[in-house]
Structure 1
Amino acid sequence: MFRSLPPYAQMTHNPFWSAPTPSQWSVQPGLAVLQENRHKNDGLVESQVLSLSYGHVVVKPIEKQRGLVPDSYEGYQILDPGDIVVRPTDLQNDQTSIRVGHVKDRGIITSAYIGLRPAGAWSDSYAYQYLSVVDSSKRIYGMGSGLRQQLRWSDLKRMPCLVPSAEEQAAIVKYLAHANARIDKAIAAKRRLVALLREEATAASRVIFAELNAPILRAKDACLRIIDCKNRTPDYVEGGGFHVIRTTCVRAGKFSMEGSYPTDAENFATWTQRGVPEFGDVFFTREAPAGEAALVPAGIDVCLGQRMMLYRPDPLKIRSEYLMHAIYDEPARRFISLATNGSTVGHLRVGDIGAIPVRVPELSVQDEVLKKIRHIVSTTAQAVNRIEREIALLQEFRTRLVADVVTGQVDVRAIAATLPDAPESFDNTVSATDDDLEEALNEGEE
């Protein structure tokens, strides 16, 4: 399905794509195949809120409609299934986000986004695929204007658009549906393997803790201080020299700046009045989700966002790294589960944080435990890194394949004619998917 796809017989150079495209395809301006959505939510006739998330237009649950929400949704635009959403803002500073989404549910979305409705000779599915390739190929970043390089309808309506025949569009969409299903299956299998490896590492670490003959202390009895965040969010200040740490930065004993946001010195001073996070402290999330921990790294100026807390271990009683791992030990996990009623979306009260039980042996024993856990973590990380590289290769292969198919670098009409209307289930494509994709990926590396 992925190998030796034939080219079109006759090709013509296309300046927009800097590549030849099928001569039989017409090239039309965006205005001929797209319409700007001008359907506003006047009178609040629609209440279902949509969100563009990682390239998908999803329904936003009511419980997540908090934070920066408008006073009224009357200014939002109404979208229907088949419409397309483009996030047009900040092209200059953000060149990694997926900016295009295909609408599956009727609802409303902010009018800061560009809503599009396929028209003329474009089907909605081919239109979505074409605009997605304009995004993934980074051509979208050369189209905006203004200080922050914002995309506008005036840019899109002049954009050169490839227009295959209706039959070819249907073949392209059908082929890509099958190809994406098979690639998704392969990625899902690898992610399940990653999850299994991490579960095994966690279980092995808990066995090490369980073998300890050590007293169980409350976390606050092993720490010098426990620092809580202010009960509101620091201001976002673009270009600020300090960062706000959110719960998304802390997962499974790992810290990442992804999910943090910048703020300025004034906000930093206000949000660190209770204490400045220092190297060796332990971040802790008390909500969204509760019970995640990670070490504070060296060399960063950060403050705590909402639902974040901080342990400052007593160096005479407990190693920082040991405390972080002990939070994932059985006594602590059982306490957290009970305190949050077993819910992944529950929250811990501030007073609960100090009461979390941890096994605290002598420091020399802690060092031995850490030596064993580091070996487990290192071995697991090597395996996970290899699998994640394979996932990245699959994602890159998908991006390249979709671009080649949508812009006519390969002709999929013949193979599409042999495919059923709907992609096969994962269960029916296990062996074929692995072998076919493996061969295609290896072919691309030669």
Structure 2
Amino acid sequence: MFVRSNEDANQNSIPEDLGKYKVARSGDLVVNKMKAWQGSLGLAPVDGIVSPAYFVFEADFDVPRFGEYLLRSKPYVAKFAAASDGVRIGQWDLDIPRMRNIQVSLPQAEEQAAIVRYLAHANARIDKAIAAKCRLISLLDELDRSVENGLAGSISSMASGGREISWLGALPYTWLVVPAKRLLKEVDRRSKTGREGLLSLRMREGLVDANEFTETPIPPEDLVGYKIVHPGELVMNRMRASIGLFGVAKTTGLVSPDYSTMTVADGVDPHFYLHLFKTDLAMAEFRRRSNGLGTGSSGFMRLYYEDFGPIALPLPPIEEQRRVVQDIQGQHTETLPIRSRASREITLLQEFRARLVADVVTGQVDVRGIAATLPDAPESFENAVLTIDDEFQEVLSEGEN
């Protein structure tokens, strides 16, 4: 749990009337009743208020931090899942009588303190390694964005008395100007069985199998009504169009009902527009045309097809589209192996952390001897970040091997 500020980039707005909110005292156990099966619970760090959708319980742990580690470990999250029920997995509610029957095994206070000390040091090292790999991915993202923004620059350099688009500028004289709805037509095919397989739209990976990013696959019956997308079609996340979250389907599958799925006209390479939509100029135009609550990429701003369709787009000859795509993808190919490796290693580190915590808090691994040799406080994460550059260079070197 954490203390939320007004600057937090949270999709849920804070209501003016907080009369129904619950008071949680420091050390109380707070549980999101609909997401306890995902481990959405923790001990309140300070006195405060929480959503009416949460349960608040008094908790009595000799070492509160140990209690949080224990209840959020995989074995205990599974117990919370078993104590939840409902029609579908995304709508499960925690059943309080069943929750009260969960057996909790606690070591002596001294061992709880030793475990907390050990895990604090272990987590600091894991966080440091993850931060280095995240920074690498962030720099690769910047490089890829510069490549895509180069597309807009190359268009300007080729312009020679052609038409102009307000958000993009002048075009080569051989290029046409066409509204998006003539090139990309929205379709709305709904699944009747949910068995087509769920696809997840990622910023750089595009549309991928959702099972690569979750340990709890959604059952087919919960995917009925999701949209069907076919290979070569363009997908737009309405709430994230302003940050370039588009993708081209490689396989037939399902996407969220909140996405727009679009077929492409003859003479259109969807990957050309995929790269164009990730340029700063295009994202600024998408932000301008989005509507709803909030501003920019926060709140509930959405780019609906009705607002997307009239946007003027350039239409180069298909040969030029393919040449641009080939050039950009050739440059992305150089960064993709490093990015994939770093992402995979982050996933492995997170899995290692989850296994380590579970083994330690349940007594499968005795860390009292090691903990006794450790200082009371690990190196702070802020100080650790200062030394990331050294490890970052090691990551880069590994990527070249």
The alignment's TM-score, normalised by the length of structure 2, stands at: 0.68
Task: Name the structure 2 match of 1:410.
Answer: 366
2:58 to 88, 113, 117: 117
Question: How far did 1:131 drift?
Answer: 1.3
Structure 1 segment 319-398 matched on structure 2, within 5 A: 319-336=269-286, 343-345=296-298, 347-348=302-303, 352-356=307-311, 358-398=313-353
Question: How far did 1:100 drift?
Answer: 3.2
SS of 2:58's partner is strand
1:179 to 118, 122, 135: 122
Kept after mapping to 2: 8 A contact 1:329/1:358: no
Residue correspondences, number: 354
C-alpha separation in 2, matches of 1:88 and 1:351 = 37
- CA RMSD, aligned part only? 4.7
Task: Name the structure 2 match of 1:82.
Answer: 27
1:352-411 CA distance string (max 9 Å, x none): 524545443221122222222333333322211111121122112212322233233222
Question: How far did 1:159 drift?
Answer: 3.7
Equivalent position amino acid for 2:353 in 1: R
Distance 1:217 1:333, change over 3 A: farther
Question: How far did 1:107 drift?
Answer: 1.3
Task: Name the structure 1 match of 2:163.
Answer: none
C-alpha separation in 1, matches of 2:277 and 2:140 = 19
C-alpha separation in 1, matches of 2:110 and 2:222 = 52
C-alpha separation in 2, matches of 1:342 and 1:90 = 28
Equivalent position amino acid for 2:139 in 1: L
Distance 1:217 1:186, change over 3 A: farther
SS of 1:107's partner is strand
Gapped regions of structure 1 (runs ≥ 5): 1-55, 439-446
The alignment's TM-score, normalised by the length of structure 1, stands at: 0.62
Distance 1:143 1:263, change over 3 A: closer
User: Which is higher, the Rg of structure 1 or of structure 2?
Assistant: 1
C-alpha separation in 1, matches of 2:68 and 2:204 = 36
Equivalent position amino acid for 1:326 in 2: L
C-alpha separation in 2, matches of 1:334 and 1:147 = 41
C-alpha separation in 2, matches of 1:433 and 1:211 = 34
1:181-233 CA distance string (max 9 Å, x none): 2311221221111121122123224335533535465552683454398xxxx
C-alpha separation in 2, matches of 1:141 and 1:117 = 20
Kept after mapping to 2: 8 A contact 1:242/1:302: no
Equivalent position amino acid for 1:299 in 2: T
Gapped regions of structure 2 (runs ≥ 5): 159-170, 395-401
Distance 1:375 1:87, change over 3 A: same
Question: How far did 1:152 drift?
Answer: 3.9
C-alpha separation in 2, matches of 1:433 and 1:412 = 32
Kept after mapping to 2: 8 A contact 1:82/1:124: yes
Kept after mapping to 2: 8 A contact 1:186/1:434: no
Equivalent position amino acid for 1:100 in 2: L
SS of 1:101's partner is strand
Question: How far did 1:103 drift?
Answer: 2.4
C-alpha separation in 2, matches of 1:432 and 1:331 = 33
1:424 corresponds to 2:380: yes
Equivalent position amino acid for 1:104 in 2: P
Kept after mapping to 2: 8 A contact 1:82/1:125: no
Kept after mapping to 1: 8 A contact 2:176/2:316: no
* Residue identity (%): 24
Equivalent position amino acid for 1:380 in 2: T
C-alpha separation in 2, matches of 1:342 and 1:86 = 30
Kept after mapping to 2: 8 A contact 1:332/1:357: no
Moved more, 183-192 or 323-332: 323-332
